[in-house]
Every structure is written in C-alpha cells, then in structure tokens.
C-alpha cells in the first residue's frame, strides 16, 4: 500500500491565498485529485488530473504538481471555502487512497 500525507490544518484570512500540500511517492507517477468536504456534506471534487477543474468549480481553485508533491491553491479565499480538503490518488494496480485531510479555517 502507499500513503498520502497532508498537513492537518491550514489557516488563512479572507482574500488571502491558501496552499495545501499532499505528498506521496505514487504522485510522481499517478494523477492527484482534490475533494472539498463541508461539514455535514458529501465530498465534492474540485481538482482532478493534478490541475484540471470540474465544471462549476470556481477559478480560484487551482492545482499543481512537482515530483512527489501536489498542491491545491485557493486564491482569494472566501468564508465558504472553510472545509476539509482531501487529496486522492490511485496506484497502478487500481487501489485508491485518500490523504488524511486538511482542515482549512478562514479567520
């Protein structure tokens, strides 16, 4: 099996930029996906294939990849972006894994 490591929490002021990292060896070979989960709701994908945005996701969400680390960037953070964020990937055998999650707090 493999692991994806995220920081437990990130705090950011409204209008500033939040960056969340996700690290794991598999990320050098496989795509990463990012999900947003607001309290009491099901997750929603906000980035797939490292940097692509599903339709309906605001442009302030972007993703990037470098080696074994991927980064979710939220530019111009809004209060509604306060949520848990999870990265996810899959190995070559088709086993998926989620990172431990990062709680984003908007100050």
CA distance 103 to 66: 22
* Tokens (6 digits) for 5: 């490591």
Instruction: Output the smallest distance, CB 44 to another protein, in A.
Output: 7
Complex with another protein: residue 37 or 69, whichever CB lies closer: 37
Contact between residue 96 and residue 2 where contact means Cβ atoms under 8 Å apart: no
Complex with another protein: residue 42 or 79, whichever CB lies closer: 42
CA distance 1 to 99: 13
* Helices and strands: H and E segment counts in the chain: 0, 9
**Torsion from C-alpha of 25, 39, 48, 73, nearest 10 degrees:** -80
Instruction: Output the smallest distance, CB 88 to another protein, in A.
Output: 6
Complex with another protein: residue 31 or 61, whichever CB lies closer: 31
Complex with another protein: residue 16 or 29, whichever CB lies closer: 29
Binding site for another protein (CB under 8 A): 1, 30-31, 33, 35, 37, 42-45, 48-49, 54, 84, 86, 88-90, 94-101
């Amino acid at each position: 099996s493999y692991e994806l490591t995220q920081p437990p929490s990130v705090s950011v002021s409204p209008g500033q930029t939040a960056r969340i990292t996700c690290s794991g060896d598999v990320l050098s070979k496989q795509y990463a996906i990012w999900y947003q989960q607001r309290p009491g709701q099901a997750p929603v994908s906000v980035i797939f294939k490292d940097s692509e945005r599903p339709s309906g996701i605001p442009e302030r969400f972007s993703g990037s990849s470098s080696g074994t680390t991927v980064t979710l960037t939220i530019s111009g953070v809004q209060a509604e972006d306060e949520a848990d964020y999870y990265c996810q990937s899959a190995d070559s055998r088709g086993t998926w894994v989620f990172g431990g999650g990062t709680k984003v707090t908007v100050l």
